[in-house]
Structure 1
Amino acid sequence: MSHSFGIPQLIDYLNRMGLKITRIDEQQELLEMVFHGEHGQWRLIVGLQRRDDLRKLMLVVPHFMRVSQRKRLECLEALMAVNYRIAIGKFGVDLEDGEVRLEETIPLATHYLSFEQFQLAVGAIMQTVGIYHSLFPRIIQQNQPILEAIQGCEREFFQSSQESTDTEQYASQQTTTEELPDLNVEDILAEVTRILESQGK
């Protein structure tokens, strides 16, 4: 099974997570999809990289934000600070056009990744997007200090996730099994939040 891990398995994993794929490039071993939350939608590129005998899973959220000349230094410092706070994914900036990307590369030591591992990694990337989507507006428009802006993003997200979880638990008691909705991004984010909180993060 280790030698057969590739695009078909990634397609299966994304389908099991209820995520819709918008583009498949089997030659480049790339998949592209769009996910959305309460505050917008973002692209996610999932791919496999090969170099000699080493294979890696690549997760990229391009065009997450854009660094402009206004408060440029503060925004760059905020991204560096966030990179020290998150376990999966790192923000990078294209200094030519200011594009901010969220990226993660995971070595496949045995040329294989279980569904649970994949779900955790993708869920963590989506959670990071959900948490920090308002980081730049807080710094630029609201003139918040860097640490205050970061903590504000985190506090708002986890409060919202808790409220959403409570609402879903109540709604599930009122819904029959036949009426249950399809899995969505908010469900995944809430589950990842519970996992991280249970681990003490």
Structure 2
Amino acid sequence: MSSSSVDNAATKIASGATRLHYVDWLRVLAMCTIFFFHNARLYDYWDWHIKNVDVSRAADIFIDFCNPWLMPLFFILAAASIYSAMKTRTAGGFAKERTLRLLIPIVILGFFVIGPPQVYLERVASGAFSGSFFQFYGTQYFSNGIYGLNDAGNFTLVPMHMWFLWLLFIFSLVLLPLFLYNKQTGRSLGSRLATLFEKPWTLVVPVLLIALSQAILGLEGALTFG
């Protein structure tokens, strides 16, 4: 991709004058795929919150196919949205918007609506709880600690599949100074990066760095919340 192509795409995203339909279609692709991805997790060979008795090699192949690119695609789409938002918002306006769009849904929906039934189903499937959902919600969900930090914890501080919103909110605020800097110099920075990656061998460098981090530090392993 040439420097001028990057500049043109950035200008279109920022101005909103031309709707980038391929970005819309990428969002559709990502949302449809993540729906089938989480359904397939019931049937693959990896451990998960709840599992079907019979597992499928086809589900395993589908999961392995999606893993390398699906979440990176979500982050790329989020970055495009942030780039557009920063062109028309101050730092305070951006932080307020991120809070309204990300933090409040996490707290209201994640803590109290989406997280509880998922933990309940996991506890029932593992035999750790045998009562109704409302019994679990009233007596177990808020009293046994944080889910993922100890075996008995049920409260979803990182609300299962909404972990992505937590990371997005944190990244948005932590990287806000960089976004503000990029607001003034983003075009030239994008052009320099595009020029750098026009050389085919440079594309191998980030791949090698990620592979080394996984091989040496084991960074592919983490707590599983969703």
Is the TM value for this pair above 0.5? no
Q: TM-score range by the shorter chain?
A: under 0.3
Query: More helix by proportion, 1 or 2?
Result: 2
What TM-score results when the alignment is normalised by the length of structure 1? 0.27
What TM-score results when the alignment is normalised by the length of structure 2? 0.24
Query: More strand by proportion, 1 or 2?
Result: 1
With a CA cutoff of 8 Å and minimum separation of 6, indicate the structure with the bigger relative contact order.
Answer: 2
